[in-house]
């Protein structure tokens, strides 16, 4: 079955986000998405059972690890990944837990601009090509996609939302064998994914900048 999930959002566990889990579930329904991943900065956020079991929305726990030279989305892990480790070591720690490592927004004017040679050596599982917070969105999408094609890796998408209204602006389409967390993770491991979406608006970008200043 085809599922659509926003695989990159931040909750209030990230200091620069205003999204409560309840907001995320509500916005997910409003956007017609099947689920989302919680990827807070350098923190593995536990999902309370009332959300994971009773919302009818697939919620993937994860984190965004701040490696030295890249941001890395980690899924299907049990222990938090330390910040500021080398990229290769960060990916190895994720894989050591049986997890999935996704290079987030590889090229970005305002965030990390990765060393492609180092990325090639790090054995990532996927590349986030569609990130709604990147600017200019179309150009960054093309560069991220070119990297994924060069590495021969599956593509993912996420909003990188820090405010509720931008959730679901970019997302991942997965061909899953079941409508649950395990099915989504299996689809990611098999590489049965594609990325869709669009960038956030100038007004939304300004509102986000206001939160960060």
Q: Residues of 82-105 as b/e, b for ≥16 C-beta within 10 angstroms?
A: eeebebeebbebbbeeebbbbbbb
**What is the set of domains in the chain, with CATH numbers?**
2-212 (3.20.20.140)
pLDDT in tens, 105-149: 998 766 666 777 788 889 999 999 999 999 899 999 999 999 999
Stretches where the chain sits below pLDDT 70 are 52-54, 109-113, 207-213
Kindly list the distances between the CA atom of residue 140 and the CA atoms of 66, 71, 120, 158, in Å, as whole numbers in the listed order.
20, 15, 19, 13
Beta strand ranges found along the chain (DSSP E): 2-9, 35-41, 58-67, 70-75, 100-104, 126-131, 155-158, 170-175, 193-197
**Quick one: pLDDT at residue 54?**
63
**Quick one: pLDDT at residue 211?**
56
**Quick one: pLDDT at residue 83?**
97
Kindly list the distances between the CA atom of residue 80 and the CA atoms of 1, 46, 76, in Å, as whole numbers in the listed order.
31, 11, 11
**Quick one: pLDDT at residue 213?**
46
């Amino acid at each position: 079955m085809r599922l659509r999930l926003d695989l990159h959002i931040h909750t209030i566990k990230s200091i620069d986000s205003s999204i409560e889990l309840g907001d995320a579930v509500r916005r997910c329904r409003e956007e017609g998405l099947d689920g989302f991943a919680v990827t807070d900065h350098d923190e593995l956020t536990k999902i309370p059972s009332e959300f994971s079991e009773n919302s009818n929305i697939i919620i993937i726990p994860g984190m965004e690890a701040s490696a030295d030279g890249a941001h890395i989305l980690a899924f299907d892990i049990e222990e938090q990944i330390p910040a500021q480790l080398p990229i290769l070591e960060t990916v190895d720690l994720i894989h050591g837990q049986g997890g999935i490592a996704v290079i987030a927004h590889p090229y970005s004017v305002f965030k990390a601009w990765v060393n492609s040679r180092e990325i090639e050596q790090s054995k990532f599982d996927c590349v986030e090509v569609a990130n709604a917070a990147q600017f200019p969105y179309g150009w960054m999408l093309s560069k991220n996609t070119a990297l994924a094609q060069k590495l021969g890796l599956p593509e993912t998408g996420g909003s990188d939302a820090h405010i509720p209204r931008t959730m679901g602006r970019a997302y991942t389409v997965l061909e899953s064998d079941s409508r649950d967390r395990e099915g989504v993770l299996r689809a990611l491991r098999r590489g049965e994914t594609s990325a869709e979406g669009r960038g956030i608006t100038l007004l939304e970008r300004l509102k986000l900048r206001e939160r960060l200043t």
